[in-house]
Structure 1
Amino acid sequence: MTTATPATPAPAGSDVELDILRYGLIEVAREMLDSLMRSAFSPICRDILDCTVVIHMRTDEGWEVAALWEGCMQHAFVAPHIANFLMDDWDIDTMQPGDVVFTNDPWRGSLHQADVNLFRPVFVNGRVEFLLQSTSHLVDLGGPIPGGFSNGATSHFEEQLKLPPTLLYANDVAVRPTFNFLLENNRVPHLVLGDLRALHGCLVVGERQLQDLVARGGLEQVRAAGRYAIDATEASMRRGIAAIPDGDYTAEDLLDEDGVTDELIPVRAMVKVRGDSMEIDFSGSARQPLGNSSTAWCEAGRCIEAVKLMVDPSTPVNSGTLKPIDVLLPAGSVVQTLPPSSCSSHADIGPRVINVVTQALGQATEESFACDTGTAVYIGFSGIDTRPGHEGTPWGAYGLAGGGWGGTWKEDGVSFCVTPIGNCRTSVQEHVEIESPLVVAQHEMLIDTAGAGRFRGGLGSVYTIVAESDTLVTVVADRLRRGAAGANGGGPGAPAVGWYIAGFDLAAHGDPMNLRGAEPLFGVFDEQGRPDPVHGEFGRGARYTTGKFSNLVIKAGDAIRLIIGGGGGWGDPLTRDPERVRQDIRNRLVSVEGARLTYGVVLADGGTDGVVDAAATEARRAELAAARDAGTWEVPIAAPLEWTV
């Protein structure tokens, strides 16, 4: 639970001096992240940027985040708590210069056990005044399933290694037993060793830069600048919250299931706005699931991303971001699971929590946005390389294909983008193909996947990966039955779908709309095997009745293809500018038939290059509006229409 406290008065010193120093702190963090990204070995840190660096400042109220620089947005929003979790366990008086403490325990601050956190004290005049933190997902830390998303696990004992705060470096010398324990219990020790060294190295860079800033500005002024930064962000958040009418706003969203049972998992939030403060109460959300789809505590900060995006998107994130907001997490629920449960698969509950808070706040203000795709559709790959020159090399890689963000009150949603909880980059495909026995045959936006609206959602994508060696695959996907919800009368985005393609041949299988030779893995399909979220049946003809599975083997020469849905639409699609619909048709974002069915827009010649038939469009929109009033039509769930079977 975060604590709402009033902003304190600005510290002594001119605003100009404090601004220079507070942005100096941010610059230190930026250089730390640059160092981490440039020296990391694995693609998940180096390319995808599933990492963050933080400067924590010692205060009378505990450790507070004065500055950070994120690659992965969710790490930034949980960082204000992590140092306090750690230092509750660690005796600060035993710390020495050059020490680095490691932990990946979700109940002590990690998102899940695959995310590791390194902390380094910074001494000024013999006293620890700052803690520097570097965080990243590691490619592997052992356990039965490579990569850290342990589908099917019901306890953390079935997952990767979990370490309480443990000394990793002492006086900048590697603690050999700790390293040996980590490296001898994972599948890709060369990648893990490289990333751990990078995580340590960026802390060394950060301390050097921070000490230089203190030497130039003075400790008290740097501390004052940190306080000034926190107070400025808090004040900006409070101004944004104060613009929302007081009231209680409730919304509910659903997870498909937990990978073990087929029960829907409701996520419910009541957002209470009072003046410039807010309470987010998750009472009424589902009990902690049997599978691994819950989180230990991190929604206390991560749900605040939704508020930040809506009311104060421009100020730097620090401890001040969280101060105006109380978050209530029921113990033993999907948003605060209790040990020894598993919470390794946080990549779906996180987006859902963001979605439910934005839906609630959308009731209070028109300046809102529809749900994003709501699932990262994480895919993990691993195996033993058999390519010439690489024989016998263990390897691991990740895919984040990118879906769509929701339409907003003023513009279409962002297309082809990882969910906001991550806000990471997708993989660098050339690096994937050089370092792994994989070929990315396809990674592009897919027509008719965006939720319809006055401002449509962003488009989703199709992602096709061919294995050159036998490859073990884990998939974590949600929103399979119904896509991301629209807002203010907008339609849902497309749901996620997956196929297995044996003997992949680009000439025969390159068209993602051609389903010949594609075996359904998961999704909603009609009798002919076409994805159809309106009339189809979940799991019909598919290998899995879940989007959360592990240990799928892709044989060399075969492929897996995923569709990641688009964002929800905002506003009535029958009011969308017909010319914008025509442009979407021309750009192959919306099909001609999709435009007629969802937007009521008709082109004069029926082709993709035609002009809008104004009379036919007016008549079609009147017909759809009348049907909606009669209860016989609603905005369809987005779905590609031009399948070949």
Structure 2
Amino acid sequence: AYMRYIQDNAETAVKDLLKSVLHSFSEKEHKHQDNIKLHAVDYMDDGSKICLCIDIDGQHSKAKFDFTGTSEQVWYNWNAPRSITNSAIIYCLRAMIAHEIPLNNGCMRPIEVILPPGSLLNPHKDAAVVGGNVLTSQRLVDVILHAFGACAASQGCMNNITWGDNKATSYYETVAGGAGAGPNWHGRSGVHTHMTNTRITDPEILEKRFPVVLQKFCLRPFSGGQGKYRGGDGVDRRILFRRTMTLSMLTDRRVHHPYGLCGGENGQCGKNLLKRVDGRLINLGGKCSVPMEPGDTFILLTPGGGGFGKVNDEEDKNSEQTEFQSFIERGSLFDYKLTQEGV
């Protein structure tokens, strides 16, 4: 019975959010609306499209998340099973609701999800899906928050890096980037966002246990998008290899920029570079495996976050705060804003 009450409360919280969103957009249009449709589109680096239409039914306090128009599943491994999409939706709803509640499936009761069979977000059972959890999930969150107008795009991937050899040496890390700015906060720099929160290995431990040297690890200045509220900066991470190994990377946002909102500028794309011992510099693209020889350096430049709002436009700034703050008044996004203000 107790769990049922928790889920009932979560359902009510999401319904309140949907009503608040409907009210905010009705005020923006200066007319009463019982239903609204919110749209957003984003692209993976291979050109695959993620389409979303959110149809909010104010009379019944329900919403339909329709991903019709999303590209077909891909040959590679960044297909995302239905569970990934559901996780992204429930995460975004929980981040925006104006009630302190535990995360639970009651949030999904007022939500209907439409996923085209055989698509990137609803692939066949034999599709490769490992990248769906670490790449596509991040883009799903960006698309959902974009539709609600909640904040600009964050770095949009987890920057998955692995290396190893045939001598039982192996290592895997995910690397932080820039967070998107919001209607009244700057994006954080050098952080993991949304669907990940992993820590990175301390430099001393990394160099003691593995045949590498961490040459540089710092913020990537000006990689966040400009705006009234700036997107967070990505990071610059450079690793020198002291032994022959194979380096692999599974990354995204190397082609399509993390977008800004409401006049904010885009964040910079990421870049993966190989610097050979003789000084040659090679662009590795977003996804590949390469042999690393002693003296070679891997340079990882992670994406920044998008900016929010036009620069030097105080009147628009005040109106944007009023429009969005009405339904982002507590919860994770609001706590996130307070945390940034305290930095």
TM-score normalized with structure 2 length: 0.81
Q: How many pairs are equivalent?
A: 299
The reply to whether residue 226 of structure 1 matches residue 10 of structure 2 is no
CA separation in 2, counterparts of 1:313 and 1:399? 34
CA distance in 2 between partners of 1:401 and 1:426 (Å): 7
The structure-2 alpha-carbon separation of the partners of 1:314 and 1:402, relative to structure 1 and needing over 3 Å to count, comes to farther
Distance in 2, matches of 1:377 and 1:295, equals 17
Query: In structure 1, which of residues 247, 252, 255 is the aligned counterpart of residue 44 of structure 2?
Result: 255
The partner residue of 2:64 within 255, 258, 279 is 279
> Is 1:357 aligned to 2:144, yes or no?
yes
3-state SS, counterpart of residue 491 of structure 1: coil
CA distance in 1, matches of 2:88, 2:112: 11
Confirm whether residue 377 of structure 1 aligns to residue 127 of structure 2: no
Deviation at 1:299, TM superposition (A): 3.2
- For 2:109 and 2:203, the matched residues in 1 are separated by 40
| Residues 9-20 of structure 1: pairs in structure 2 closer than 5 A | none
Within-5 A mapping of 1:267-346: 267-275=50-58, 276-304=61-89, 305-312=91-98, 314-346=100-132
Q: Which of 472, 478, 487 in structure 1 is aligned with 2:261?
A: 487
Q: Deviations over 1:474-507 (max 9, x none)?
A: 1112222232000011110000112112339xxx
Q: What is the aligned partner in structure 2 of residue 243 from structure 1?
A: 20
CA 1:468–1:323 in 2, change beyond 3 Å: closer, same or farther? farther
The aligned residue for residue 211 of structure 2 is 437
Does the aligned pair in 2 maintain the 1:300–1:328 contact within 8 Å? no
Find the partner of 1:573 among 311, 314, 321: 311
For the aligned residue pairs, the C-alpha RMSD in angstroms reads 2.1
- d(CA) in 2 for partners of 1:282, 1:562: 32
In structure 2, C-alpha distance between the alignment counterparts of 1:484 and 1:338, rounded to whole Å: 29
Indicate the residue corresponding to 1:140 in structure 2. Answer: none
SS of the counterpart of 2:7?
helix
Cα deviation for residue 433 of structure 1 reads 2.5
1:521 aligns with 2:283: yes
- Which residue of structure 2 aligns with residue 265 of structure 1? 48
CA apart distance, 1:405 = 1.0
Matching residue's letter, 1:268: C
Does 349-358 or 484-493 show the bigger shift? 349-358
**Aligned mate of 1:465, from 227, 239, 244:** 239
In the alignment, the residues of structure 1 paired with residue 233 and residue 280 of structure 2 have an alpha-carbon distance, to the nearest angstrom, of 23
From the superposition, tell whether residues 458 and 286 of structure 1 become closer, same or farther in structure 2 (CA, over 3 Å): same
Larger Rg: 1
Distance (whole Å) between structure 2 residues aligned to residue 313 and residue 500 of structure 1: 47
> Partner of 1:348: helix, strand, or coil?
helix
Q: Taking every aligned residue pair, what percent have the same amino acid on both sides?
A: 24
Change in CA separation of 1:448 and 1:518 when aligned onto 2, cut-off 3 Å: farther
Deviation at 1:312, TM superposition (A): 4.7
Matches of 1:503 and 1:247, distance apart in 2: 57
The one-letter amino acid of 1:572's match is K
Q: Secondary structure at the match of 1:298?
A: helix
Report if aligned partners of 2:78, 2:130 keep a CA contact under 8 Å in 1: yes
Q: Report the 3-state secondary structure (helix = DSSP H, G, I; strand = E; otherwise coil) of the residue aligned with 1:455.
A: coil
TM-aligned CA distance change 1:429 to 1:321, over 3 Å: farther
Tell me: CA distance 1:327–1:431, structure 2 relative to 1, closer, same or farther (3 Å): farther
Say if 2:44 and 2:256, in contact at 8 Å, map to a contact too. Answer: no
SS of aligned partner of 1:487: coil
Q: Report the secondary structure of 1:308's partner residue.
A: helix
Deviation at 1:440, TM superposition (A): 2.1
* Deviation, structure 1 residue 447: 0.8
1:288–1:306 distance in 2 versus 1, CA, 3 Å = same
Output the CA distance in 2 between the equivalents of 1:274 and 1:435.
56
* Separation of aligned partners in 2, 1:345 and 1:269: 20
Q: How does 1:61-460 map to 2 (within 5 A)?
A: 224-245=1-22, 246-257=35-46, 264-275=47-58, 276-304=61-89, 305-312=91-98, 314-346=100-132, 347-362=134-149, 368-384=150-166, 392=167, 394-460=168-234
Matched-pair contact (CA < 8 Å) for 2:13–2:99: no
What is the CA-CA distance between 1:309 and the residue it aligns to? 2.1
Instruction: Mark the CA change 1:423 to 1:518 in structure 2 (over 3 Å): closer, same or farther.
Output: farther
1:314 deviation in Å?
A: 4.3
Q: 1:426 Cα deviation (Å)?
A: 3.0
Matched AA of 2:41 = E
Query: Could you give the per-residue CA deviations for residues 275-319 of structure 1, whole angstroms, max 9, x where no partner exists?
Result: 332211100000111222211222331231223223358422122
Change (3 A) 1:236 1:548: same
- CA 502–309 in structure 1, closer or farther in 2 if over 3 Å, else same: same
What amino acid maps onto 1:549 in structure 2?
Answer: C
Match of 1:476 among 234, 246, 250: 250
Contact 1:400 1:427 (C-alpha < 8 Å) held by counterparts: no
| Aligned counterparts, 1:494-509, within 5 A | 494-503=268-277
Task: Give the match for residue 547 of structure 1.
Answer: 286
With normalisation by structure 1, the TM-score equals 0.44
- What SS does the corresponding residue of 2:14 show, helix, strand or coil? helix
Letter in structure 2 aligned against 1:354? V
- 8 Å Cα contact 1:307/1:358 also seen in 2: no
Cα gap change, 1:341 to 1:482, in 2 (>3 Å): closer
- Contact 1:397/1:432 (8 A) holds in 2: no
User: Structure 1 unaligned runs (5+)?
Assistant: 1-223, 258-263, 363-367, 385-391, 505-516, 523-545, 577-645
**Amino acid aligned to 1:301:** N
Letter of the structure 2 residue corresponding to residue 412 of structure 1: H
Q: Aligned to 1:563, which of 301, 326, 329? A: 301
- How far apart are the structure 2 equivalents of 1:565 and 1:293? 19
